[in-house]
């Protein structure tokens, strides 16, 4: 778990701001669900055989003896929220951003507190919604300045196809079962699909030779997937079919996808998503969505040379004071400028001019506005352009004209 501060925080802010702007273009609204939920909210959505639930959840008893957990992802809480609301929520487009928690072994790109930006598009359970969701995500990555990413897509088929897929895979794996790693020997019985994305080389070779999962699926599932792929082509979003893409959560059906980025090494998924059907007290909720790992987005931005410093907010003005009388008047000036929307700094200690000018330079202020007791007597200001070094003496009206953003005819 990490503290987040400058200079990285400038990138976090840019990433969040652009995400909000982009989601608004697609009609998504923000939802903020609690970080702590009853444990069963996650168990019933994510499935009790998933690794996240079995091994990675921060679950504990609260003082009332209730089992609660820090959210390991965002979908389950959003579904809990919309299931408790009216019918209009069943067709909502929602986004969220915030911390998630998984008790994983930390390594590059894997943290115990990490952050997701995610969306859930509820209702409208059809291939068009899936394709739009993937296309929006590609749009978002480009809005952040990323281009070196790939989109891998696959289908989990219909829930009714699951048994046929598992049986088909088992049959195809049977002759080479003994060559699988220990984990996959167990997975063969419990969760055969997970053999497909095993990271062990031997298992990878075996999985690569298997027929694609679509071979075992119904015509309806295959047709759905083809429609998604066709729509993505029409939207000019290049994707790669990856028949071995599984996704680690149980709620998926039909389309699943991951965005990968060359800079991320072993943990190369920058995001994951898919269509799902989640049962809430006997009531099926349909949706499609994705979540991006913000830490991984930042690693990708660094690799593509996007510099956080470019997004730092710099003050337009630094007010520099000399003498007792000017001090109070300058404080009034800084407040007036801020009330007019001009970012402005001034030291609260009375230090030398030199020290104050250094502070103005460190803050990378655009202008230093210098007023000492002598300027007070004359009713003027000395304005230094910190980029060109040019200095100018001005009275109050011309200073305001120069600095205020909404004064007509201002000189910049
Ligand atoms: P997920 O694949 O488990 O999907 O997580 C999404 C993304 O969160 C990953 O691709 C990764 O970038 C990031 N992530 C996950 N675990 C960690 C970690 N320990 N440290 C850093 N980053 C991490 C979900 O969570 C689904 N709820 C996505 C979804 C939404 N599907 C449908 N709707």
At 146-162, the pLDDT tens digits run 999 999 999 999 999 99
Strand ranges across the sheet with 93-101:
29-30, 93-101, 113-122, 283-293, 269-280, 252-261, 149-155, 240-241
* Residue with CA at minimum distance from ligand 1 atom 17: 110
Q: What angle do CA 312, 316, 317 make, to 5 degrees?
A: 130
Q: pLDDT at residue 93 above 90?
A: yes
Examine the pLDDT at 412 and tell me if it is beyond 70: no
Residue-averaged pLDDT of the chain: 93
Which spans in 55-192 are helix H? 75-83, 127-143, 162-173, 182-190
In ligand 1, the atom with minimum distance to the C-alpha of 73 is 25
Tokens matching residue 199 = 């990271």
Looking at ligand 1, which residue's alpha carbon is closest to its atom 4?
272
SS3 label, residue 277? strand
Mean pLDDT over residues 129-142, rounded?
98
Asked whether 274 lines ligand 1 (CB < 6 A), one says yes
Reply yes or no on whether the pLDDT at 406 is more than 80: no
Taking the centre of ligand 1 as the mean of its atom positions, its distance from the CA of residue 73, in whole angstroms, is 7
Side-chain half-sphere exposure of 60, counting CA atoms within 13 A: 6
The per-residue pLDDT for 88 is: 84
395 sits in which H/E element: strand 391-395
The arithmetic mean of pLDDT across residues 66-77, rounded, is 97
What's the pLDDT tens digit per position in 230-239? 999 999 999 9
Any ligand 1 atom below 6 A from CB of 132: no
Is the CB–ligand 1 distance for residue 345 below 6 Å? no
Q: Which atom of ligand 1 is nearest to the CA of 75?
A: 27
Average pLDDT, stretch 363-384? 96
**What DSSP designation does 145 have?**
T
% pLDDT > 70, the chain: 98
Task: Ligand 1 pocket test: pick from 291, 299, 301 the residue with the most ligand atoms within 8 Å of its Cβ.
Answer: 291
Q: What is the distance in A from the centroid of ligand 1 to the CA of 329?
A: 53
Does 73 sit in the ligand 1 pocket, CB within 6 Å?
A: yes
pLDDT of residue 168 exceeding 80, the answer is: yes
Q: Which two tokens stand for residue 76?
A: 């389950």
Which of 293, 295, 296, 299 has most ligand 1 atoms within 8 Å of its beta carbon, as the pocket-test mutant?
293
| Mutation to probe ligand 1, out of 33, 45, 73 (largest number of atoms < 8 A from CB) | 73
Q: Tell me which of 251, 257, 272, 299 to substitute to probe ligand 1's pocket, judged by most ligand atoms within 8 Å of the beta carbon.
A: 272
Cβ 120 under 6 angstroms from ligand 1: yes
Residue 385 has pLDDT above 60, yes or no: yes
For the segment 50-59, the average pLDDT, to the nearest whole number, is 89
Q: Model confidence at 90, in pLDDT bands (50, 70, 90)?
A: confident
Q: Is the pLDDT of residue 329 over 90?
A: yes
Confidence tier at 143 by pLDDT (50, 70, 90): very high
Ligand 1 atom having least distance to the Cα of 296 = 12
CA-wise closest residue to 271 among 254, 288, 257, 251:
257
Distance from the alpha carbon of residue 71 to the mean position of ligand 1, in angstroms:
12
Distance of CA 288 to the CA centre of its chain: 16
CA of 89 to the centre of ligand 1 (A): 24
Ligand 1 atom closest to Cα of residue 116: 8
Per-residue pLDDT tens for 195-215? 998 889 999 999 999 999 999
Atom number in ligand 1 closest to CA 104: 19
Cβ of residue 114 lying under 6 Å from some atom of ligand 1: yes
For 368, counting Cβ atoms within 10 Å of its Cβ (0-12 exposed, 13-18 middle, 19+ buried), the class is buried
Residue 184: what pLDDT? 92
Find out whether the beta carbon of 116 lies less than 6 Å from any atom of ligand 1. yes
Cβ of residue 28 lying under 6 Å from some atom of ligand 1: no
Q: Which atom of ligand 1 is nearest to the CA of 271?
A: 10
Q: What is the mean pLDDT of residues 216-224?
A: 97
> Is 411's pLDDT higher than 80?
no
Contact in structure between 116 and 292 (CB atoms under 8 Å): yes
Give the pLDDT mean for 108-126.
95
Distance CA 343, CA 313 (A): 9
């Amino acid at each position: 778990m990490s503290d987040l501060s400058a200079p990285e925080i400038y990138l976090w802010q840019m990433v969040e701001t652009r995400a909000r702007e982009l989601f608004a273009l697609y009609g998504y609204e923000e939802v903020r669900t609690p970080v702590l939920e009853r444990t069963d909210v996650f168990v019933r959505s994510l499935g009790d055989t998933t690794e996240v639930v079995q091994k990675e959840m921060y679950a504990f008893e609260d003082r009332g003896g209730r089992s609660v957990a820090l959210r390991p992802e965002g979908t389950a809480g959003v579904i809990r929220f919309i299931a408790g609301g009216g019918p209009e929520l069943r067709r909502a487009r929602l986004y969220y951003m915030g911390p998630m928690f998984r008790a994983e072994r930390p390594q590059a790109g894997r943290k115990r507190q990490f952050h997701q930006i995610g969306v859930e598009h509820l209702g409208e359970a059809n291939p068009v919604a899936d394709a739009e969701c993937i296309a929006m995500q590609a749009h978002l990555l480009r809005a952040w300045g990323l281009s070196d990413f790939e989109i891998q897509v696959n289908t989990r088929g219909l829930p009714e196809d699951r048994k046929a897929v598992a049986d088909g895979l088992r049959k195809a794996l049977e002759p080479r079962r003994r060559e699988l790693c220990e984990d996959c020997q167990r997975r063969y019985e419990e969760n055969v699909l997970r053999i497909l994305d095993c990271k062990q080389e031997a298992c990878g070779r075996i999985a690569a030779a298997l027929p694609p999962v679509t071979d075992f699926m119904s015509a309806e599932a295959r047709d759905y997937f083809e429609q998604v792929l066709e729509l993505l082509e029409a939207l000019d979003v290049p994707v790669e079919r990856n028949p071995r893409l599984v996704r680690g959560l149980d709620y998926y059906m039909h389309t699943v996808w991951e965005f990968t980025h060359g800079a991320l090494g072993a943990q190369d998924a920058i995001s994951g998503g898919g269509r799902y059907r989640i049962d809430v007290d006997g009531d099926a909720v349909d949706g499609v969505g994705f979540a991006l790992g913000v830490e991984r987005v930042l690693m990708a931005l660094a690799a593509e040379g996007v510099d956080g410093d470019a997004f730092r907010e710099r003050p337009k003005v630094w007010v520099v004071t000399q003498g007792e009388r000017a001090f109070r008047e300058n404080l009034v000036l800084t407040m007036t400028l801020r009330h007019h929307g001009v970012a402005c700094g001034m030291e609260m200690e009375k230090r030398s001019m030199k020290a104050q000018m250094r502070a103005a330079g460190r803050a990378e202020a655009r202008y230093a506005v210098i007023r000492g007791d002598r300027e007070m007597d004359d009713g003027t200001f000395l304005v230094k352009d910190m980029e060109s070094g040019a200095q100018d003496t001005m009275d109050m009206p011309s200073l305001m004209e120069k600095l205020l953003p909404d004064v007509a005819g201002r000189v910049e």
